[in-house]
Structure 1
Amino acid sequence: MALTADDVREVRFTKAGLGRRGYSEVEVVGFLAEVANTLDGRGNVTATQVHNVAFSTSLGVGGFDEEEVDNYLDLIEQELLERAQRTAG
């Protein structure tokens, strides 16, 4: 099943647990908005950019669970790679 822009817009992540580092919520949400626009054909985020994105982290003051976000970014990267292959082929 292909990942859609709506899937990206609607994804929710849990907060990092007490004493664990978490990604900046503002940065993650902003980047995912750019990804959603790309999946809608209105942006240009590449699989390489998804692979290389880095978010600020904080300890003990919230933020999104890093592993959850990283796993979702892997799905996005794969989707963008598949779309690029279909376009090139």
Structure 2
Amino acid sequence: MSPEDVRDITFSLALMSKNAYDEAEVDAFLDRIEATLRGQDSLTATDVRDVAFTHPGLGRRGYTKDEVDEFLTQVAATLEAL
């Protein structure tokens, strides 16, 4: 996985906020992952596994949880391999 893979990832928007993560929180964490892969931050696989995002709030849509979780599993595996 490259920093560009992280920068270019897109997630579907969930239809219900209870099945979603706040977009801004996920985007900020993805920025940190990209920086880590560039050697400019120091996230670990454990940090990625333990991250918690809030729901986007009533009436707001956010990134689909399952897609984000699946991608973060791939990120954690990449960081373990480094």
Which TM-score applies when normalising by structure 2? Answer: 0.92
1:53 corresponds to which of 34, 51, 54 = 51
Q: Deviation of residue 17 (structure 1)?
A: 1.6
Alignment correspondent of 1:77: 76
Distance 2:15 2:44 in 1: 31
Match in the other structure for 1:65: 64
Matches within 5 A, 1:4-19: 4-18=2-16
What is the root-mean-square deviation in Å for CA atoms of aligned residues? 1.3
Deviant stretches of 4+, over 2 Å = 18-21
**Which runs of no fewer than 5 residues in structure 1 stay unpaired?**
84-89
Distance in 1 between the 2:10 and 2:20 partners? 14
Q: Is the 8 A contact 2:17 2:61 kept in 1?
A: no
Name structure 2 gaps, 5 residues minimum.
none
Structure number with the higher strand fraction is 1
Aligned pair count reads: 81
Secondary structure at 1:28's aligned position in 2? helix
Tell me the TM-score normalized by structure 1.
0.85
Secondary structure of residue in 2 paired with 1:13: coil
